[in-house]
Amino acid sequence: MKNLFGKILVTVAGSLLISFGLTLFFGGFSILNYVNNVFLVSLALLMIGGIFYVLQTGFFNGIVYSFRRFIKSTQKRKMIEDDEQEIPYFVDYTFPFTYAMIIAGGALFLISIFIGFSMI
């Protein structure tokens, strides 16, 4: 838990610094621009973390296995040669920052929405 908390803090700090840099780069600094950039960076974190999570849980392993099996069945000669070999279809991906990106992105997303609505 301590390691996950450290990764979350690093991800949040990096996101806030990236948002600050984007705010300075794309126009003058204002709180509204900063909150908008925090929202966009947190949305990117959520999307990347979601992609990592889907890959890490092996959602596409069955699809990859089916495609490999279909290609081999269309090439009969190759299937006969490789008949004794089983097609390895399980690929184990591990991304160390998956949960940190999802949690930090979600927290920054909700905070930026709350701040954005309170500014109106």
Overall domain count for the chain: 2
User: Are 50 and 105 in the same domain?
Assistant: yes
Q: What is the pTM of this model?
A: 0.75
Count of other CB atoms within 10 angstroms of residue 65:
14
pLDDT tens, residue by residue, 49-63? 999 998 888 887 778
User: Are 9 and 38 in the same domain?
Assistant: yes
User: Are 6 and 52 in the same domain?
Assistant: yes
Give the residue numbers spanning the domain of 37. Answer: 2-56+93-119
User: Are 40 and 14 in the same domain?
Assistant: yes
Angle between helices 98-119 and 2-25 (to 10 degrees): 50
User: Are 43 and 63 in the same domain?
Assistant: no
pLDDT tens, residue by residue, 3-56? 989 999 999 999 999 999 999 998 788 899 999 999 999 999 999 999 999 888
Alpha-carbon gap, residue 104 to 5, rounded angstroms: 10
